[in-house]
Structure 1
């Protein structure tokens, strides 16, 4: 018996790959209805069941959203349930409201070696550095420092961010067509330095949780690097593990 072909993949996985390519190419935009399973089966010359299995996986990965009686839509950060997809800070008090963003600054700088490596760019390349604070019930809880490749976010300004009335990811998707699909995080306990202490209104040296997040879009292309200093006196970092 010949050895298995290492390049073989099930048919539904091949169809899934073609659908992802169409999403990546912008054939179907965030929030748009994609063709029906029947139409896609005809398009790719496969059974409807094969298409359904491919779409099931895309839905499980939050790339598309099935809506009963309406069809399947490209997932968007502007949907309520996806607003804070990567935020894992859970309030100890269930009555705590949603976070509100305040943008402090947007600067354009040259990427240092650490940022360049994680964003897959050259150290000489420009990045935007966004600083913002997230408040819950008016109390500052998170200070974010966010690095974005300037080549992908041309025209980003503090004024544009301040005039946006939804989430940062919703803005980046709407304004620049960038969707954050998955992220890798590292978490470390740190002490507040003067800048974090001033913004979060805590003493210098107060305990904080430092969360560094590398976010990727299609084809695992990194499109954001974020460092967040979390004040956890009223919150816990909560994640689901499978």
Structure 2
């Protein structure tokens, strides 16, 4: 049985600075998370073995395994049998099940295609300021796009990003379907969590024209605030969805 006594560990730098009094595996997780945040561990990278990490952090291999299991459960790492543990990449399959909750009423879930309608910089609204923690002098990047399943438009969404976190965004010639992978690969920003709120609304004339539905038709509004690995707000997203043949699905455990 692992000794649960809370003892300060030596810091990786060798300074001997304690990192707090939490369960030991949680302390180790924080240290390993810092490697993700600082870019020492990049998406797709093979991690050192549990034994090597235990040696580096001066803890038991069991403590390291528990920390890695916790990060794997949060989709930050991937275990590959016989090959080791890797930093998860924000590929379509992972993002689909972790962050995209719309599924067809019949058939298997699919990741939607996207068509960008507009993109540009602007001053933030009051809601954007509050959600993203912005000041009066800050600017945001807004992206509007249509998303489709099997060629059928199912939602129109507006994505708002803080400009200071995404320098040179306006230099992009193409905005890919999977923007979370773009954030990770170009700016080193990994989306670690998201909060969503659902509400029924009526389609505006503009949204109805883009979606090919009736003005005033019921839509599902999904507002999402996505955060990075340090729990800082990164993205505010508003999705207006036609739910004639799709539904919002969540597995509660």
TM-score by length of 1: 0.91
Q: Secondary structure at the match of 2:128?
A: helix
**Residue of structure 1 aligned with 2:211, choices 200, 207, 225:** 200
**Residue of structure 2 aligned with 1:39, choices 39, 45, 52:** 52
**Equivalent residue number for residue 178 of structure 1:** 189
Q: How does 1:219-230 map to 2 (within 5 A)?
A: 219-230=230-241
Q: How does 1:107-186 map to 2 (within 5 A)?
A: 107-157=120-170, 160-162=173-175, 164=176, 166-186=177-197
Task: Note the C-alpha offset of 1:83.
Answer: 4.5
Are the equivalent residues in 1 in contact too, given 2:219–2:243 (CA < 8 A)?
yes
Task: Note the C-alpha offset of 1:119.
Answer: 0.7
Task: Note the C-alpha offset of 1:50.
Answer: 0.6
**Equivalent residue number for residue 23 of structure 1:** 36
Q: How does 1:74-85 map to 2 (within 5 A)?
A: 74-78=87-91, 80-83=93-96, 85=98
Q: Is structure 2 residue 196 aligned with structure 1 residue 212?
A: no
In structure 2, C-alpha distance between the alignment counterparts of 1:139 and 1:8, rounded to whole Å: 53
Deviations 1:96-148 (CA, angstroms, capped at 9, x unpaired):
75411101111100111210111112133110000011011111101010000
Length, aligned pairs only: 235
Deviations 1:10-52 (CA, angstroms, capped at 9, x unpaired):
1111101100111111110111111110110000011101100
Are the equivalent residues in 2 in contact too, given 1:91–1:235 (CA < 8 A)?
yes
Q: Secondary structure at the match of 2:98?
A: coil
In structure 1, C-alpha distance between the alignment counterparts of 2:228 and 2:133, rounded to whole Å: 13
In structure 1, C-alpha distance between the alignment counterparts of 2:197 and 2:98, rounded to whole Å: 17
Q: Which moved more, 1:214-223 or 1:153-162?
A: 153-162
Question: What residue ranges of structure 2 are gaps of 5+ in the alignment?
Answer: 1-5, 7-19
Deviations 1:40-72 (CA, angstroms, capped at 9, x unpaired):
000001110110001010111111111111111
In structure 2, C-alpha distance between the alignment counterparts of 1:50 and 1:94, rounded to whole Å: 42
Are the equivalent residues in 2 in contact too, given 1:76–1:82 (CA < 8 A)?
no
**Residue of structure 2 aligned with 1:71, choices 77, 80, 84:** 84
**Equivalent residue number for residue 61 of structure 2:** 48
Are the equivalent residues in 2 in contact too, given 1:96–1:137 (CA < 8 A)?
no
Q: Which moved more, 1:168-177 or 1:226-235?
A: 168-177
